[in-house]
């Protein structure tokens, strides 16, 4: 799918706990100045009227009628039906709110709602990391191509999504790829989000240098300390991101064992990838002990850091060779190096979510 030249317009929304940001996308590009309105998280009527008003303002700025509304909204939710459940950050939503059907009735157009992790990965599958890597493989003369993309967002929380052959996996309960609820590798009684998020980096740093969590700098400052740009414990700052990488790597390994595809990472913490990516790759390529004293690889595939030039080149080259077809004079190309790559968002998280929302709506319209 390539919607770079598609003339259809889709209205979008970036729904945060504090603000709602409304916009419109055409041909994978934002075509109006975004409209920001306070989300009114504690009053349902005010919140819903804000959403209605935001989309009406967007519609008034468009020269052509949009074909759909498509946006990310927090869960729990029944995304297929457009029903939002009990939201922690938007307490007005309790008992189920039919947000999608409401908007469809008011604006008389299809409405598609997903979570931001899903739409982030969908955007990267359509116009980001997935086509980028497949193009590099083609240029390198490799027969290898990828159709599966798993992704995570590292930020306030730990989000996830999975795309197979241009189709987004939502799940029967709108709960597919909820990686945040996997087990924390280092603290078994906790979920993975507690070890792979903004608060995890801060908690790691606080423990390592012995200060209260409340006095801990934000991850941006911890990153600057790790880079030597700010005063602080440089080694502890690096270790804070490495510990997060180990937990994230374990969660990714559990998911990718089932899914088998490329991995893309986005979110506010992704800019610090130089400090956590090696730990992720080490975890993916680690081993399990066996009862007989031997070891077995954590994955059946080898993982490569696509942000490391040497590893990227090895990933692209593979181990392609020609093998003979039995009882024939023909040969076929065979690459026995089973591998995946882990890379950082090529679009940026916000843009990827927008493109994902746009592409998801058009794909649904075209196929239904």
pLDDT for the residue numbered 75: 84
Show Cβ contacts of residue 342 under 8 Å, excluding neighbours closer than 6 positions. Answer: 252, 262, 263, 264, 265, 277, 280, 281, 284, 303, 304, 305, 306
CATH 3.30.420.40 describes domain 9-114? yes
pLDDT at 92 over 90: no
Q: Note whether 120 and 266 are within 8 A (CB).
A: yes
Between 51 and 368, residue with greater pLDDT: 51
Select from 37, 42, 39, 38 the least CA-distant residue to 92: 42
The domain limits of the chain are: 9-114, 129-346
- Quote the tokens at residue 240: 């804070």
Task: Render pLDDT for 256-314 as a digit per residue (tens, 0 to 9).
Answer: 999 999 999 999 999 999 999 999 999 999 999 999 999 999 999 999 999 999 999 99
Confidence tier at 18 by pLDDT (50, 70, 90): confident
Q: What share of the chain is helix, strand, coil (3-state, %, to 5)?
A: 40, 20, 35
Average pLDDT of the chain to the nearest whole number: 94
> Average pLDDT of 238-263?
97
Both tokens assigned to 276: 């956590």
Mean pLDDT check: name the lowest of 11-20, 230-239, 278-287: 11-20
Start-to-end C-alpha separation, the chain = 15
Are 9-114 and 129-346 the same fold in CATH? yes
Question: Above 90 in pLDDT, residue 139?
Answer: yes
How far apart CA 12 and CA 209 sit, in angstroms, is 43
Residue 279 corresponds to which tokens in the numbers above? 């730990």
Higher-pLDDT residue of 14 and 112 is: 112
The structure tokens 């982030």 sit at 120
* pTM as predicted: 0.93
Cα 71 from Cα 79, distance rounded (Å) = 11
Which numeric CATH code is attached to 129-346?
3.30.420.40
DSSP H helical ranges for the chain? 44-60, 99-107, 116-127, 129-139, 198-209, 219-226, 234-259, 273-284, 309-317, 349-367
């Amino acid at each position: 799918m390539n919607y770079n030249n598609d003339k259809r317009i889709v209205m979008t929304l970036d729904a945060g706990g504090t603000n709602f940001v409304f916009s419109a996308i055409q041909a994978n590009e934002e075509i109006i100045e975004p409209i920001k309105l306070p989300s009114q998280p504690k009053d349902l009527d005010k919140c819903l009227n804000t959403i209605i008003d935001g989309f009406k303002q967007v519609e008034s700025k468009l020269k052509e009628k949009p074909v759909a509304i498509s946006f990310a909204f927090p869960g729990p939710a029944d995304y297929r039906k457009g029903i939002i459940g009990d939201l922690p950050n938007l307490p007005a939503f309790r008992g189920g709110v039919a947000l999608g059907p409401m908007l469809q009735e008011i604006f008389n157009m299809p409405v598609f709602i997903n979570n931001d992790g899903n739409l982030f990965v969908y955007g990267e599958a359509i116009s980001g990391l997935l086509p980028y890597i497949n193009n590099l493989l083609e240029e390198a003369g490799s027969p290898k191509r990828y159709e599966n993309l798993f992704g995570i967002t590292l930020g306030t929380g730990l989000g996830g999504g999975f795309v197979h052959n241009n189709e987004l996996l939502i799940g029967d309960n709108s709960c597919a790829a909820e990686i945040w609820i996997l087990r924390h590798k280092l603290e078994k009684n906790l979920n993975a989000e507690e070890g792979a998020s903004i608060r995890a980096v801060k908690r790691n740093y606080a423990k390592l240098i012995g200060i209260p969590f409340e006095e801990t700098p934000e991850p941006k400052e911890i990153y600057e300390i790790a880079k030597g740009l700010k005063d602080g414990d440089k080694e502890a700052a690096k270790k804070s991101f490495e510990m997060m990488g180990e937990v994230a790597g374990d969660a990714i390994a559990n998911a990718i064992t089932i899914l088998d595809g490329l991995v893309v990472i986005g979110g506010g913490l992704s800019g610090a990838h130089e400090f956590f990516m090696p730990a992720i790759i080490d975890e993916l390529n680690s081993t399990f002990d066996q009862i007989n004293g031997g070891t077995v690889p954590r994955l059946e595939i080898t993982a490569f850091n696509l942000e490391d030039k040497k590893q990227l080149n090895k990933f692209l080259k593979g181990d392609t060779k020609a093998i003979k077809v039995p009882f024939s004079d023909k040969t076929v190309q065979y690459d026995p190096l089973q591998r995946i790559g882990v890379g950082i968002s090529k679009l940026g998280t916000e843009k990827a979510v927008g493109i994902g929302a746009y592409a998801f709506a058009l794909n649904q319209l075209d196929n239904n």
